[in-house]
Amino acid sequence: MSDAAGLDEATIQRLTAAARAVQKQAYAPASEFRVGAAVLAADGREFVGCNVENASYGLTICAERAAVCAAVAAGVREIRAVAVVTDLDEPARPCGACRQVLAEFGKDMAVLLVGRGPAVRLLDLERLLPDAFTFERGS
Ligand code: THU
């Protein structure tokens, strides 16, 4: 299913593979729900992240935010796309906190959601978080 522009098939495959690879590193002793994420920076570089849980549950870091932090630490300020993979049959949706953090780095970001089943969702971040909070003034 698709309502987002601009991600070619090769990019989709590459981002999905990167997210699937890093998913293996997820640290999820509490939920056993493993998530992998890969972001594509505007400069073409890719960065990955996995979820990192904690005995103090509320300190858990989601895969998407881990990937964003890795990108930002390398100097990235604009992200073109993010892929998120889980082991659910249907593609999972990013949590609200991750949507807001992603929105900081790409108004037109493509979001690729991949589960274990054949259905893949490709959509615009604007659809997941319409009218996000930013420091920019609205019209
Ligand atoms: N999780 C993510 O990594 N990304 C999301 O967008 C939603 C949830 C993680 C957090 C926690 O480790 C596990 O999934 C179960 O909530």
| Per-residue pLDDT at 18 exceeds 90 | yes
β partners of residue 110 = 81, 124
Q: Structure pTM?
A: 0.95
Residue nearest to atom 13 of ligand 1 (CA): 33
Distances (CA, A) of 122 to 4, 14, 92, 111: 6, 14, 12, 6
Residue 64: active-site member: yes
Residue nearest to atom 9 of ligand 1 (CA): 62
pLDDT, one tens digit per residue, over 82-134 is: 999 999 999 999 999 999 999 999 989 999 999 999 999 999 999 999 999 99
Residue 139 binned pLDDT confidence (cut-offs 50, 70, 90): low
Q: What is the pLDDT of residue 2?
A: 46
Distances (CA, A) of 104 to 69, 100, 112, 135: 12, 7, 17, 9
57 secondary structure, DSSP code:
G
Residue nearest to atom 14 of ligand 1 (CA): 33
Residue range 51-71: average pLDDT? 98
Which of 61, 62, 121, 128 is the best mutation target for the ligand 1 pocket, counting ligand atoms within 8 Å of the beta carbon and taking the most? Answer: 62
Ligand 1 centroid–CA 102 distance in Å is 15
How far is Cα of residue 95 from the mean position of the Cα atoms in its chain? 10
Q: What is the pLDDT of residue 118?
A: 95
| Per-residue pLDDT at 4 exceeds 90 | no
Residue range 31-38: average pLDDT? 98
Where does residue 17 rank: exposed (0-12), middle (13-18), buried (19+ CB within 10 A)? middle
- What is the share, in percent, of the chain residues with pLDDT greater than 70? 94
- Across the chain, mean pLDDT equals 94
Which of 27, 32, 33, 88 is the best mutation target for the ligand 1 pocket, counting ligand atoms within 8 Å of the beta carbon and taking the most? Answer: 33
